[in-house]
Amino acid sequence: MIRFYFHPTPNPAKVALLLEELGLAYEVVPIDTSKGEQHTPEFRAINPNGKVPAIVDTEGPGGGDARVFDSSAILLYLGEKTGRFIGTPVDRPELLSWLFFIGTGLGPFSGQAVHFQYAAPDDNEYAVNRYRREIERHYQVLDDRLSGRDYIVGDDYSIVDMSAWGWLDRAPRVMKGEADPLAAFPNLKRWFQTIDARPAVLRARAVGKDHAFKKELDEQARRALFPSNYLKSAD
C-alpha cells in the first residue's frame, strides 16, 4: 500500500496522475501546507525538505516501509517498481534527461513565476520578466522536442509526460494574463491536449477534493509557505 502525502499543487499532481494510471492501491494523507503541516516532526521524518509530494510504500525494497520524497524520485521509484511508463532500456538516457529538465528547470521557474506574480510584495518587474522569459524558453525547448512526436520520450506515454503535465496544466496561472498561454507552442499544445484527455487525468484531478484545504494567503499561510521571509539576518 502507498501512503500519498498530498496537497492540490503541481508537484503532487504528477504523482496523483501516475498512481491513477497504475491503478495502485493508495491512501491520500492531506498535508495542508498553508497551515504549516509540512513542518511537523512527523512529516519531516518522511520528507526532511518539508514539501509535498512524498510517499511511504509499506512494501518497500527491504520488505517494510520505504519513504520517497521529491516528485521526480517518486515517479521513477513507482515506474521502476511496476516496470511501467519508463520506456525501453534504449529510452533510458532520454528519460533521465527530460525528467531532470522538467524537475530542475520547468518546475522551479514556474514556481518562482507564481510566487512573484501572486505572493511577493512590491514591484517585481525584474523577477517576473526573468521567470516568465525562462518559462517561455522551456516551453520552446519542449515544443521543438515534440515536433513530429506524440510523447516527450520514445514512442509511448511515460512518467516524463506526467511530470510535464503537472506544470503545463498550470500554464494559465504561471503565465498570468495570457488567455491561451500555449498558443505560440503548437506542438506542446497538441501534446498537452492529448495527455489532458486521458481518463486518469480526470481521476487525478479529483484526488483530495474531499478535503477542505486552506485557500487564504493570510499571515499563517505566509509564515508556513515562506518562512525565510521571517528569519532575521545574522548582521
Q: Which is nearer to ligand GSH, 11 or 117 (CB)?
A: 11
x-or-dash string of contact with ligand GSH, 94-133, rule CB under 6 A: ---------x---x--------------------------
Check binding of 70 to ligand GSH (CB under 6 A): yes
Q: From the CB of 142, what's the least distance to ligand GSH, in Å?
A: 17
Q: Is the dihedral of CA 118, 120, 123, 126 positive or negative?
A: negative
Q: Which is nearer to ligand GSH, 52 or 175 (CB)?
A: 52
83: phi > 0 → left, psi -120 to 50 → alpha, else beta; which?
Answer: left
Q: From the CB of 231, what's the least distance to ligand GSH, in Å?
A: 14
User: Cα 230 from chain centroid?
Assistant: 26
Q: How far apart are CA 44 and CA 126, in angstroms?
A: 34
Check binding of 225 to ligand GSH (CB under 6 A): yes
Q: Which is nearer to ligand GSH, 33 or 117 (CB)?
A: 33
Check binding of 30 to ligand GSH (CB under 6 A): no
Cell numbers 486521458 correspond to what residue?
Answer: 198
Q: Which is nearer to ligand GSH, 90 or 231 (CB)?
A: 231
- Residue closest to ligand GSH when measured from CB atoms: 51
Which of 38, 112, 117, 158 contacts ligand GSH by CB under 6 A? 38
Q: From the CB of 168, what's the least distance to ligand GSH, in Å?
A: 14
Q: From the CB of 102, what's the least distance to ligand GSH, in Å?
A: 9
Check binding of 35 to ligand GSH (CB under 6 A): no
Positions touching ligand GSH (CB under 6 A) are 7, 9-11, 33, 38, 51-53, 70-72, 103, 107, 225
